[in-house]
Amino acid sequence: MQPTATVLVYSDDSNTREQVRLATGRRPAPDVPVVEFVECATPAAAIKELDKGGIDVCVLDGEAVPMGGMGLCRQIKDEVFRCPPVLLLIARPQDAWLATWSRAEAAVTLPVEPVEFAGALAALLREKRLQGV
Give the whole-angstrom CA distance, residue 36 versus residue 6: 5
Contact 1, 95 (CB under 8 A): no
Burial annotation 28-41 (CB, 10 A radius, 16+ → b, else e): beeebbebeebbbb
Name the nearest CA neighbour of 10 among 36, 56, 49: 49
For the chain, domain boundaries: 4-131
pLDDT at 133: 52
DSSP 80: S
pLDDT digits (tens, 9 = 90+) for 78-106: 999 999 999 999 999 998 999 999 999 99
Give the whole-angstrom CA distance, residue 49 versus residue 38: 8
CATH class of 4-131: alpha beta
pTM of the model: 0.96
Give the whole-angstrom CA distance, residue 48 versus residue 46: 5
